[in-house]
Amino acid sequence: MIDENLLEQFGAGIIFIKKGDVLFEEGDTAKYFYQIKSGEVKMNNYNDEGKEFIQSIFAVGSCFGEPPLFIDKPYPANGVAILDSEIYAIAKEAFFKLLFVHPEAHLSMTVNLAQRLYFKSVMASEISSQEPEHRILKLIDYFKETVSKLKPADRYKVELTRQQIADLTGLRVETVIRSIKALEKKGFLTIEDRKVYR
Amino acid sequence: MIDENLLEQFGAGIIFIKKGDVLFEEGDTAKYFYQIKSGEVKMNNYNDEGKEFIQSIFAVGSCFGEPPLFIDKPYPANGVAILDSEIYAIAKEAFFKLLFVHPEAHLSMTVNLAQRLYFKSVMASEISSQEPEHRILKLIDYFKETVSKLKPADRYKVELTRQQIADLTGLRVETVIRSIKALEKKGFLTIEDRKVYR
DNA sequence: TTACTGTTATGATTTGGGTCATAAAGTGCT
DNA sequence: AGCACTTTATGACCCAAATCATAACAGTAA
């Protein structure tokens, strides 16, 4: 989201983390701004019974975990690498200085937050009040449109596992599997070689 | 969120709406920045079966409905007055100019978005993976802490109706009523004269 | 007072998604 | 090739929350 040269210019370091490594945990104090140079990161929670909920998945170029920097609250979720990754990290103070000196970077941050708030709004309404099939379709369309930047007419291969879809929608794997089958039967998507296309 | 003098200085108008009046609808193009001078506003969705989901409730001093301004997308939900209200409205262009000329206002906008994203994260995880009683308690604590700015030790009177709690948590009124009773029995809150205290 | 509306309340019944069990297909590693 | 692990898949059963029905109470407008 923020120009990489700018990040380096303001003293960004690079953190190397392997798949499964934890960058920060729920409750930790936020001290750095993070942006993905390569790899992929998720933010998640576990409920009392140990069930995972994935807040979001962040890909190359995305920044994440800034809200706590702005509002001086601890992280509301864990940050975990889902692929081996390189992460730009820049200290809170340097980050604020960067925003102050570069209003255009500040604006792109704001736009980014607005974008994520928008996604959360859509998913919140889905999760709370729609049937599994509806939820899953909405999530897939969101990833197709926003993450992969494809048009509705394009053919999109869903790279999420059934388990990830479950954790993103608050459903169970079995329910996701069954719903996806039902959606295929209804013609909303196709399954080829166990992969979902939409 | 933004200083009222500043709003007026940049040509803000005031809109008078009565309880129940709709300010904008899901799908509308966002053209104005809104901030509450008096009254209260909610943003909501209706699912296919007509069940309401309340995204948030905004009180005096809060702004709302900005994300679509920043990302050029239509409103993801309706904006409806829940009390007779006076709303500052300022055109999109003037709003951006204001942010550009007043970086401190821009920062407070960013902080505000971060705050809301934080709330959405917490509630998303709650809604998707916790039991009714847990969800309700979290919501009440959020309102106590963030909307009413009270300390945990303070006594807080919940001004939300059971129906509103249901629509905010994605539950049904009956479930909310029964859960609140159960929570009282367990000593997590008290009910006096049908009002909930925490 | 009555009539009306919104909110809280409670019991009976139903059902959709969770849970549990089990297995097959695919993937990666030695 | 063999082994361990992950992902997808399916059937059977269960249960918590939704649904349906009904009513009492509070507030307020006529």
For every residue of A25-68, DSSP letters joined together read: -TTPPP-EEEEEEES-EEEEEE-TT--EEEEEEE-TT-EE--HH
Find chain A residues with C-beta within 8 A of B118's C-beta: 67-68, 71, 73, 76
Please count the CA atoms within 13 angstroms of the CA of B115 that sit on its side-chain side: 17
Chain B nearest C-alpha distance from A124 (Å): 6
User: For residues B110 and A111, is the Cβ–Cβ distance under 8 A?
Assistant: no
Could you tell me the end-to-end alpha-carbon distance of chain B, in angstroms, rounded to an integer?
Answer: 27
Taken in order B61, B64, B70, B72, the sign of the CA dihedral is negative
Does at least one atom of strand D sit less than 7 Å from the CB of A83?
no
Structure tokens given for A60: 């190359």
Judge whether A178 is closer than 8 Å to chain B, CB to CB: no
**Spatial CA neighbour of B119 closest among A169, A93, A113, A34:** A113
CA-based R_g, chain B, Å: 18
Give the residue ranges of chain B where pLDDT is below 70.
129
Alpha carbon distance B92, B70 (integer Å) = 9
pLDDT at B73: 92
Residue of A nearest to B26 (CA): A122
For every residue of B93-136, DSSP letters joined together read: HHHHHHHHH-HHHHHHHHHHHHHHHHHHHHHHHHHHHS-HHHHH
pLDDT at B50: 80
Instruction: Tell me if A120 and B117 make a contact (CB, 8 A cut-off).
Output: yes
pLDDT at A48: 79
Distances in Å between the alpha carbon of B27 and those of A20, B24, B30, B152, B165?
39, 9, 9, 39, 25
User: For residues A171 and B127, is the Cβ–Cβ distance under 8 A?
Assistant: no
Judge whether B142 is closer than 8 Å to chain A, CB to CB: no
User: A136-182, pLDDT tens digit by residue?
Assistant: 999 999 889 887 788 888 999 998 999 999 999 989 999 999 999 99
Secondary structure (3-state) at B32:
strand
Domain boundaries, chain A: 4-113, 131-197
Give the residue ranges of chain A where pLDDT is below 50.
none
Q: How many CB pairs under 8 A join A and B?
A: 128
pLDDT at A150: 86
CATH of domain B131-197: 1.10.10.10
What DSSP element (H or E) covers B41?
strand B41-46
Q: What does the buried/exposed string (b/e) look like for A152-166 if buried means 16 or more CB atoms within 10 Å of the residue's CB?
A: eeeebebebebebbb
- CATH architecture of residue range(s) B4-113: Sandwich (2.60)
Q: Are strands A85-91 and A78-81 parallel, antiparallel or unpaired?
A: unpaired
Judge whether B67 is closer than 8 Å to chain A, CB to CB: yes
Number of H helices, E strands in chain A: 7, 10
Chain B nearest C-alpha distance from A99 (Å): 9
User: For residues B131 and B170, is the Cβ–Cβ distance under 8 A?
Assistant: no
Protein-proximal positions, strand C, CB < 7 A:
6-12, 16-21, 26
Residue from the list B69, B118, B127 with its beta carbon closest to the beta carbon of A71: B118
Contacts of residue B87, defined as CB under 8 A and 6 or more positions apart, other chains included, come to B14, B15, B16, B17, B23, B34, B35, B36, B37, B39, B41
Chain B nearest C-alpha distance from A191 (Å): 26
Instruction: Tell me if A55 and B124 make a contact (CB, 8 A cut-off).
Output: yes
Instruction: Tell me if B76 and A121 make a contact (CB, 8 A cut-off).
Output: yes
Judge whether A50 is closer than 8 Å to chain B, CB to CB: no
- Residues close to nucleic acid strand C (C-beta < 7 A): A 49, 51, 131-132, 170-172, 174-175, 193-194; B 161-163, 173-174, 177-178, 180-181, 191, 194
Chain B nearest C-alpha distance from A96 (Å): 10
Instruction: Tell me the Ramachandran region of residue B73: left when phi exceeds 0, alpha when psi lies from -120 to 50, beta otherwise.
Output: beta
